[in-house]
Chains A and B, each alone.
Chain A
Amino acid sequence: MKYIDEFQDPELARRLLDDIHSTVTRPWALMEVCGGQTHTIIRHGIDQLLPEKVELIHGPGCPVCVTPLEVIDKALEIASRPGVIFCSFGDMLRVPGTGRDLFQVRGAGGDVRVVYSPLDALRIAQRNPDREVVFFGIGFETTAPPNAMTVYQARRLGIRNFSLLVSHVRVPPAIEAIMRSPSCRVQGFLAAGHVCSVMGVEEYPELAERFRVPIVVTGFEPLDILEGVRRTVTQLERGEHTVDNAYPRAVRPEGNTAARAMLEDVFEVTDRAWRGIGVIPDSGWRLSAKYRDHDAEHRFSVDGIQTREPAECRSGEVLQGLLKPHECEAFGTLCTPRTPLGATMVSSEGACAAYYLYRRLDLTPAAREATPVV
């Protein structure tokens, strides 16, 4: 962990920016896939420093944002039951389901616990053999392997009171869905480095070739983002469309083979709904038949949930890169982190939250006036 300062160096950033400014001759629209990248871009004001001809479109890569409302409501239902200890990463607790969130379930007496690792949830299950312990398994290829490992361990150790509520999603089918959309404007991708550190880059050359779009594997610090942009626009200016790894300190071409093996053992590919977007074929994982005993949806009867999405929320368009957060009429007025209409405003990696938290001063005078002054 010595990389933070090195990858935020203003002098190196200036050189990269100069290079990008001198390379770009035409307008280009690039999508950063991951919400963590979106936050780096907005938090450091990188979009303000790039040439006007380079537009960054924010992708669907926030695991909290894309988790369907139905799954959130299932989580709320399970967490409310007596005898259940419901474990989750912190940022899922404030995501609104239909009418409430996990914090409110906890305030009403539910045993909802924040953990930093799914293995912590497994330990809670070991210490509480008379309780049902459920872990909320959401996220992309980055979080799926440790969650798979937890189920693998539960089975190996014979821990029967542990289950996973699964809503894992995969990036490549989302890229395909975005490129197939008739309204797609994306000309190049900054692929999510953490995802590629697990999966490698083998899934991407076919996509780059089929859609004739450069895909540059990119990290998360400011200089990573600038280097990713530089390499993408360089390809675009030259008319190239290859897969390029700009994050070699974390990403090997084959990825993390042990993590991939764990994924293949515990999960199987399935169609998956993305909040605000809809069902994308083959875009998710579910527990394979061998591990179904540890599937919370099988263990708890949570069918027949009626969901209700706020009609004003346009987060689906934001997730598909069709709308910038501040272009939504509800942004900063009806919809704020205090009163979110959708998950993109409440998640720590959500694009709407990034714009509201960091950029509302210069983007929306109306939102500025509406800022709650406490």
Chain B
Amino acid sequence: MPVLDPAAWTCPAPLRDQPRVVMGHGGGGALSAELVQHVFAPAFGGSVLAQMGDSAAVTLGGVRMAFSTDSFVVRPLFFPGGSIGDLAVNGTVNDLAMSGARAAYLSCGFILEEGVEMETVARVAEALGAAARTAGVEIATGDTKVVESGHGDGIYINTAGIGLVPSGVDLRAQRVVPGDVVMVSGAIGVHGVAVMSVREGLEFGVEIESDCAALGGLVDAMLAVTPDLHVLRDPTRGGLAASLNEIASASGTGVVVREREVPVPPAVANACAVLGLDPLYVANEGKLVAFVPREHADAVLDAMRAHPLGAGSAVIGEVVADHPGMVVARTGLGGTRVVDLPIGEQLPRIC
């Protein structure tokens, strides 16, 4: 078993600066990645884990499967357009879908805080069951634990899922090459702003509903056009910026985003302007970003737009050989800027 020696770490972003866990370690950015790379991966070992995708591609009994798990600690439990129950299903279903797999079975673990109202638990469970039926997935096993009052936020949920990967489908960041076309399946930043609007009591003039949805059907429609998609990601925590950076880094290519082509609804843009946030870093729950070989791009885009969950699909950029590992945005005015991996969480500015 590897012995951790913090003093010997040469990582340019050392954990030695963080002797304790901070919220940013769960933010989906650089701090999260370092926690996994420096603590979890060395402790766990294993070649499958080293793939570091949204889900793991495994072969069992000669069958290719995708396997994934996710935990949900969202506050509040209910928000415009969804609930923690919807997220718990759709999050894991989507992680599997990003491997090209249709989720078949989910597990569901509840961690309940002493004192939470039974009616709340029932509402979450009903939402979870309904989301599973919509996604066409069966909850096959589960677990319940209760923690003392004050030791949780009401309800935490963990789900894990498995699904079959169709033959001929091989979605990995390493397959991305210069010339690939980058597209998203619709408006970005919606979920993050929807949750923020209720959690922080902020109102932005119009109600913004979460885009929380299961993407298995949309991915099926895309794969029906061509199984040769290079990589898919659902840009949840860390937003589109984190997903693009992960892919650029893992593939050793550069990504160019045309900023004005990125679909940002006016309500999201306004909320972000008020709070000093960048929509590219805001979480989504029902969108995907696809890297598609150029020759298939038009057909895949048409297929996405024909699906209800991809009606707002747009080409937002391309893969280049320049600036490997980096994402660069072309601004509306004609300048350029780097789009970095977020460090932890975005912080609203002072004024």
Contacts and interface: CB of A to CB of B under 8 A. Distances in A.
A45 B334 contact: yes
A89 B349 contact: yes
B247 interface: no
Contacts of A337: 340, 343
B338 interface: yes
A91 B345 CA distance: 11
B350 A338 contact: no
Contacts of B145: none
B350 A360 contact: no
A371 B331 CA distance: 22
Given A89-B349, A93-B347, A373-B325, A103 B338 contact: no
* B33, B245, B266, B331: most-surrounded residue (chain A CB, <10 A): B331
Interface in A330-367: 336-339, 348-349, 357-362
Contacts of A338: 12-13, 17, 30, 343
Contacts of A349: 349-350
Interface in A236-292: none
B20 A361 contact: no
Interface in B217-242: none
A21 interface: no
B8 interface: no
B343 A103 contact: no
A84 B151 CA distance: 20
Given A108-B20, A143-B350, A373-B325, A44 B335 contact: yes
A1 interface: yes
Contacts of A359: 337-338
A171 interface: no
Nearest to A361: B338
Nearest to A92: B350
A361 B340 CA distance: 11
B333 A46 contact: yes
B326 A368 contact: yes
B348 interface: yes
A90 interface: yes
Contact residues of B: prevailing secondary structure: loop
Nearest to A194: B351
A93 B266 CA distance: 29
A93 B350 CA distance: 11
Contacts of A358: 337-338
B331 A45 contact: yes
A372 B11 contact: yes
Interface in B315-351: 323, 325-326, 328, 331-338, 340-341, 343-344, 347-351
Given A44-B331, A104-B22, A371-B326, A90 B348 contact: yes
A181 interface: no
B347 A44 contact: no
A49 B347 contact: no
Nearest to A349: B349
A370 interface: yes
A8 B275 CA distance: 18
A89 B13 contact: no
Contacts of B328: 361
B200 interface: yes
Interface string A1-19: 1101100101001000000
B332 A10 contact: yes
Contacts of A13: 333
Contacts of B11: 372
B269 interface: yes
A201 B122 CA distance: 59
Interface string A303-340: 00000000000000000000000000000000011110
Contacts of A131: none
A222 interface: yes
B202 interface: yes
Contacts of B167: none
B168 interface: no
A49 B335 contact: yes
B276 interface: yes
14 contacts: A10-B333, A36-B349, A42-B337, A45-B337, A49-B334, A89-B349, A91-B347, A92-B350, A94-B347, A107-B18, A143-B351, A336-B13, A374-B30, A374-B33
- A-B pairs with the 3 shortest C-beta distances? A45-B335, A90-B347, A358-B337
Given A336-B13, A374-B245, 4 more contacts: A8-B333, A107-B20, A339-B17, A368-B323
